[in-house]
Amino acid sequence: MWFSVSEQLWVTLYSLIMGVFLGIVYDLFRISRSAMGITRYSSTALKLHSIKLPFLSKDHKKSKGSLSRIYSIILLLFSDLFFACICSVIYSLFLFHAIRGQIRLYFILASAIGFFIYYFTASKFFISVLEVILFAFKCLIRYVFMITSLPFRLLARIIRKLFSLFASRIIIPLVAEIRYRFAKYRTLRATKSLRRDIRFNI
């Protein structure tokens, strides 16, 4: 089936948009890799993690992934394969629904051009925005956890102090008294046995 000129222009535009969409999906994969410690963190993420937040300890992050090199390579390979599968499925659906399953080289070139235009222009800004959102979400989760766990931490501290007070006032003196009485009993027993031996020898 042939396409008219207007249809070819619209499909070319759709192919460009599809390339931009695949670039966004690729950036989401890049953010997930850095969040899981597979790849190194971006400069924006390192600046965000160096910020001191009130009531929160500093979140120390390494510039490289926190996972070992072998696991990072394996996970990176599987994530690339997963991304390739997702792109294949998305682009196949696009081919069947937008251009009725007909493959044209300039449509693929338009998608590649859209992908690289996005990658070299808006990708850094999009990643920075995602890093800020992810950092804000992490901080929110940490603050919520800190607030919700505060009563339990106070209760644990009170129990620990009560137990230490109970141990110092009751358990430790009781153990010392038991040890003293046991030592005294052994001494008396040894003394009686020694006296018995002396009488027997006489």
**DSSP per-residue codes, 150-202:** HHHHHHHHHHHHHHHHHIIIIIHHHHHHHHHHHHHHHHHHHHHHHHHHHHHH-
Beta carbons of 49 and 135 less than 8 angstroms apart: yes
CA–CA distance, 110 with 105 (Å, rounded to integer): 9
- Residue showing tokens 């390494």: 62
Residue 52 has, within 13 A of its CA and on its CB side, a CA count of 1
Count CB neighbours of 3 within 10 A.
15
- Reading the chain (202 residues) residue by residue, the pLDDT tens digits are 556 777 778 888 888 998 899 999 988 888 887 777 666 556 666 666 666 766 666 554 444 444 566 777 787 788 888 888 888 888 888 877 766 666 777 778 888 999 999 999 988 888 888 888 888 888 888 888 888 888 888 898 899 888 888 888 888 888 888 888 888 888 887 787 777 766 666 5
- Residue showing tokens 């937040």: 53
* 63-106 confidence digits (pLDDT tens): 444 456 677 778 778 888 888 888 888 888 887 776 666 677 77
CA–CA distance, 8 with 107 (Å, rounded to integer): 9
Q: Which of 13, 8, 22 is nearest to 88 (CA)?
A: 22
